[in-house]
Amino acid sequence: MLRSVAAILVASGSLALGTALAAEQALPAFRLTSPDLMPGAPVRAAQVFNSFGCTGSNISPALSWSNPPAGTKSFALMVHDPDAPTGSGWWHAVVYNIPANVAGLPARAGDPAAGLMPAGAVQGITDFGTAGYGGPCPPVGDKPHRYHFRLHALKVEKLDLPPTASAAFVGFNVNANTLGVAELMAVYARPATTAK
């Protein structure tokens, strides 16, 4: 009798676990998309930096996202080039405290002078030494660099950080509070003809 009860309990537990896993797998994935960036494709001239010999328009791409994890209270966007010859890559954009009810950023939102960021969102200091979006501008002759646009869903409404916080410091706090990440990766190689 006890063995029968134990078998029923084990079977019930397995069924409940299987149902929970199936429900979790049925949830739509947290996604980040852009009309300006195609996954794995070259970054367009409009998003390329406009200095250091590069001749792009330095316009941050429009981004939209869907299906954030349950419990999301804010978002952070981190844009990083791991292939930059610095030993630690290059931070091209750092944005945090994006409200949870926001589902996208328009093109040019990365320009602090444009005033297009949602209320409360903070643009952190990039490796260009300023706040705001800085587009790709890898060295001439390098293989295509990868540009990872990562949107983090956070479990906190706000990261209370100093305005001069480095991208690495922001990233530490972002990763410590991340519930999920949606990513879009594009590539860029600088044409040799742009060298000065």
CA atoms within 13 A on the CB side of 8: 5
- Band of residue 26 on the pLDDT scale cut at 50, 70, 90: low
Reduced to 3 states, what is the DSSP secondary structure of residue 191? Answer: coil
Q: Is 135 within a domain?
A: yes
Q: Is 4 within a domain?
A: no
Tally of domains within the chain: 1
Task: Return the pLDDT at 192.
Answer: 74
Task: Return the pLDDT at 191.
Answer: 83
Q: Is 99 within a domain?
A: yes
Q: Is 69 within a domain?
A: yes
Decide: pTM greater than 0.95: no
CA distance 82 to 80: 6
The per-residue pLDDT for range 140-185, each reduced to its tens digit, is 999 999 999 999 999 999 999 998 999 999 999 999 999 999 999 9
Distance from first CA to last CA of the chain, Å, rounded? Answer: 85
The per-residue pLDDT for range 109-141, each reduced to its tens digit, is 999 999 999 999 999 999 999 999 999 999 999
Q: Which residue has the higher pLDDT, 19 or 182?
A: 182
Q: Is 1 within a domain?
A: no
Q: What is the domain-level CATH number for residue 55?
A: 3.90.280.10
Q: Is 9 within a domain?
A: no
The per-residue pLDDT for range 28-74, each reduced to its tens digit, is 899 999 999 999 999 999 999 999 999 999 999 999 999 999 999 99
Q: Is 100 within a domain?
A: yes
What percent of the chain is helix, strand and coil (3-state, nearest 5)? Answer: 20, 25, 50
- The side-by-side arrangement of strands in the sheet containing 104-105 is 31-33, 63-66, 104-105
Q: Is 81 within a domain?
A: yes
The answer to whether 51 touches 65, Cβ cutoff 8 Å, is no
Q: Locate tokens 């952070």: which residue?
A: 76
**Domain that residue 85 falls in:** 28-194
The answer to whether 38 touches 186, Cβ cutoff 8 Å, is yes
CA atoms within 13 A on the CB side of 107: 11
Query: How far is residue 99 from each of residues 52, 163, 182, measured CA to CA in Å?
Result: 34, 18, 16
Taking 50 as the threshold, does the pLDDT of residue 90 lie above it? yes
Q: What is the mean pLDDT of residues 77-98?
A: 97
